[in-house]
Structure 1
Amino acid sequence: MEQKRNSFNNPIIVIANGRFPYHPIPTNYLNNSRTIICTDGAADKLIDYGKTPDIVIGDFDSTKLKNSDKAKKWIEAPNQNKTDLEKTFEWCINNYIKKIVLLGATGDREDHTIGNLFTLAKYHEKISCEVITDYSKIICVTGKNYISTIIDQDVSIIATEPIKSITIDGLQYGIRNKKIMPSTQAISNKAIRDQFYIETTGKVLVFLNHYK
């Protein structure tokens, strides 16, 4: 069966309405993007930064812009049972987008930060997403994975659900076939090689702090 394609240029950046990035790593992703998708309030921040969104998605309750302004395409998604970021993930999936980088997911309201990270976990099996903040790269994994690191890089792992078994090798504090809960049980670890192995029966968030 032929794989369906989208017409968007990669790399694709999604910007949520959290704190707009200032660190060189996330701003480098932004400056090298070829398609920028904003949840509605994030569009204002992007325009203030000096860039124009290609697509704006949401119920438009957080933006001062009108759909005649700036953005090339406006997608109205008024469902109040889902956040603008959930609507954006679903729009990307429905339009055959396979990989995104998410900026602006953290900072500002703490409830939104936690909700955005749970959204990452919710959709991670349907779309590849890296969250890039001013402090770290955050990914969601399950099953068996090798993850690239820098020696001495700070690494934290937080379960999003009860994990029956998790094994980690290549970090300062290894874990073998351990049960963990959503908690602080596996935070503040450190890379001792240029990659580490993780095998988990459930979804976990991996935080890879920027080395510089």
Structure 2
Amino acid sequence: MKAVIVAGGKAPDKELFLREIEDANYLIAADSGVNVFYKYDVCPNVLLGDFDSAKHEAIDAFKEVEIVKFKPEKDFTDSELAFKHAIENGADEIVLLGCTGTRLDHTIANIGLLKSALDLNIKAMIKDENNCIFLVSKDTVLQGSHGQTISFQAFGEKVGNFYIVDAKYPLQDYSLEFGDGRTVSNEFIDKSIKITFSSGTVMVIYSND
């Protein structure tokens, strides 16, 4: 089951929003993410959060929808609460929108949700108009178009024996650490790139300007 969470970061544009919800089974508005559903006239399955930044007219428009309200003083972000709610309702694929933006602390915490999903064998991605971010813990073939930009970072511990195959800038038997600039802005030269590694977790970032 695919769940789409819209959180309170930079709002997705209409094209991205509609594309992601088209095949979704469960839609979650996390706090001011409800403003996005209201703007694009789409009804979510649930409203969730402390609603400290949600527009009153947006909440009122969906007053018949299930609302799960939390106090502002809590141990989890609204995005994490929405993530947990999606899993509790059977999601095995989660797309996170509105999870990047001006608040770097929230962005980092949201990337942490990708690790939680990976540990649970749940497919999860953070998407905005310029980026698609996800984590992999095993050898992976990645699809793309000629010239498309892709970058790699170690998530947490060092990634051992890292190889990039069939990319513009191939790499062999490399010890990849977080923050390494060598694996930024690689490119597809054909339809696929293969990455292999012996240990660690790789953060994959498709990006465009």
Name the TM-score, length of structure 1 as normaliser. 0.83
Does the 8 A contact of 1:171 with 1:192 survive in 2?
yes
SS at match of 1:106: coil
Residue of 171, 176, 187 corresponding to 2:184: 187
Residue of 70, 73, 91 corresponding to 2:62: 70
Q: How big is the alpha-carbon RMSD for the aligned residues of Structure 1 and Structure 2?
A: 2.5
The letter for the 1-side match of 2:62 is: K
Task: Tell me: CA distance 1:145–1:15, structure 2 relative to 1, closer, same or farther (3 Å).
Answer: same
Q: Which moved more, 1:58-67 or 1:156-165?
A: 58-67
Equivalent in the alignment of 1:138: 133
Equivalent in the alignment of 1:118: 112
Q: Which moved more, 1:61-70 or 1:126-135?
A: 61-70
The letter for the 1-side match of 2:85 is: W
> What CA distance in whole angstroms lies between the structure 2 residues aligned with 1:102 and 1:169?
29
Equivalent in the alignment of 1:7: none
Whether 1:56 aligns to 2:52 is: no
SS at match of 2:101: coil
Equivalent in the alignment of 2:200: 202
Task: Tell me: CA distance 1:11–1:173, structure 2 relative to 1, closer, same or farther (3 Å).
Answer: same
Residue of 12, 22, 35 corresponding to 2:3: 12
Once the 2 structures are TM-superposed, how far is the Cα of residue 157 of structure 1 from its aligned partner?
Answer: 1.0
The letter for the 2-side match of 1:70 is: F
Does the 8 A contact of 2:159 with 2:201 survive in 1?
no
Question: Which structure has the highest helix share of the two?
Answer: 2
Between the two proteins, the alignment pairs up a number of residues equal to: 202
Calculate percent identity across the aligned residue pairs: 24
Whether 1:173 aligns to 2:169 is: yes
> What CA distance in whole angstroms lies between the structure 2 residues aligned with 1:144 and 1:32?
27
Give per-residue Cα distances to partners, 1:3-27, cap 9 Å, x unaligned.
Answer: xxxxxxx543111111111273444
> What CA distance in whole angstroms lies between the structure 2 residues aligned with 1:43 and 1:91?
16
Once the 2 structures are TM-superposed, how far is the Cα of residue 32 of structure 1 from its aligned partner?
Answer: 5.3
The letter for the 2-side match of 1:170 is: D
Once the 2 structures are TM-superposed, how far is the Cα of residue 123 of structure 1 from its aligned partner?
Answer: 2.5
Does the 8 A contact of 2:14 with 2:40 survive in 1?
no
The letter for the 1-side match of 2:126 is: V
Once the 2 structures are TM-superposed, how far is the Cα of residue 187 of structure 1 from its aligned partner?
Answer: 0.9
Does the 8 A contact of 2:28 with 2:48 survive in 1?
yes
Task: Tell me: CA distance 1:163–1:134, structure 2 relative to 1, closer, same or farther (3 Å).
Answer: same
Task: Tell me: CA distance 1:42–1:67, structure 2 relative to 1, closer, same or farther (3 Å).
Answer: closer
Task: Tell me: CA distance 1:60–1:23, structure 2 relative to 1, closer, same or farther (3 Å).
Answer: closer
> What CA distance in whole angstroms lies between the structure 2 residues aligned with 1:23 and 1:179?
40
> What CA distance in whole angstroms lies between the structure 2 residues aligned with 1:96 and 1:33?
13
Equivalent in the alignment of 1:156: 151
Q: Which moved more, 1:15-24 or 1:76-85?
A: 76-85
> What CA distance in whole angstroms lies between the structure 2 residues aligned with 1:131 and 1:116?
8
**Unmatched 5+ residue regions in structure 1?**
1-9
SS at match of 2:119: coil
